[in-house]
Amino acid sequence: MRVLGVDPGLTRCGLGVVEGTPGKPPALVAVGVIRTPADLDVSRRLVQIESELDQWITEHRPDAVAVERVFAQHNVRTVMGTAQASGVAMVVAARRGLPVSLHTPSEVKAAVTGSGRAGKEQVTTMVTRILRLAERPTPADAADALALAICQVWRGGVTSKLQEAAASRSNLEAMAQAQSRLQVARLRAAVAAQESKR
C-alpha cells in the first residue's frame, strides 16, 4: 500500500509518501514541502498547493491519502489556513478517486511513538528510525507528513482488512440465507406435490 501523507498548512504544506503493509516497516518513497509566499493572496496560495499536490499524485501514484485532522488552536488565523489547505488536499485526492483518511495529531503520535503526547522531536526521531533514514527529515512539516503516511499504512491498512472481512462475512451470510430460502421452497414444493398425488 502506498500512502501520501499531507501535513496541511498555507506557508508550509508537508508531503510524504511511504509504501508498506501493516506490521512491517514501511519504506520512504518521497518527502517534500510545498511553500507559498505569505504576501500572496490566499486564493492564489491555495491554487499553488492544489497544483503541486496534483503533481505529486501523478508522479508517485498513491493508493490512499492521509491528511491531518484540523483541530482548534488559539490562533484562529492559523487554523483557517490549515483548514483551507486540508480541504484542498481532500478535493485533489477525491478528484483522483483516492480514499482520504483524517488522523488527529495524537493518533499519529501514538502510531509512530507509542504516546499520543509525544513532542515533534520524538516524532521526527521515530520517523527517521522507522523508515531507516540516514538523515532526519526537515522541516518538521515533512516529518509530520511522513508520520501521517506511516499511521495510515499501519492503522488504515488494518481497518480496511477488517472492513473487507466484515463485507465478506456479510456476503457469506446473505448467500447462506438465500440457500436456506431455496431449500425451504423446494421442500414446500415437494410436500405440495406429494399431497396433490393423494
Q: CB of 4 within 8 A of CB of 149?
A: yes
Residue 54 burial (CB count, 10 A): 15
pTM higher than 0.75: yes
**Which positions ≥6 away from 118 have C-beta within 8 Å?**
109, 110, 112, 126
Taking 70 as the pLDDT cut, the residues of the chain under it are 72-74, 157-172, 176, 198
**Which positions ≥6 away from 188 have C-beta within 8 Å?**
none
Residue 50 burial (CB count, 10 A): 17
Q: Which helix (H) or strand (E) holds 184?
A: helix 157-197
Q: β-pairing, 64-68 with 100-103?
A: parallel
What's the confidence (pLDDT) of residue 137? 95
Residues acting as catalytic residues: 7, 68, 141
What's the confidence (pLDDT) of residue 117? 93
What's the confidence (pLDDT) of residue 72? 66
What's the confidence (pLDDT) of residue 138? 92
Give the separation between CA 188 and CA 120, rounded to whole angstroms.
69
What's the confidence (pLDDT) of residue 164? 47
Reference 111, options 155, 145, 143; nearest CA is: 155
What's the confidence (pLDDT) of residue 175? 73
Reference 65, options 26, 91, 36, 29; nearest CA is: 91
Q: CB of 163 within 8 A of CB of 35?
A: no
What's the confidence (pLDDT) of residue 105? 94
Alpha helices in 14-131 (DSSP H): 42-60, 76-95, 105-113, 120-130
Reference 107, options 157, 64, 147; nearest CA is: 147
Phi/psi at 101 (nearest 5 deg)?
-120, 140
Residue 159 burial (CB count, 10 A): 13
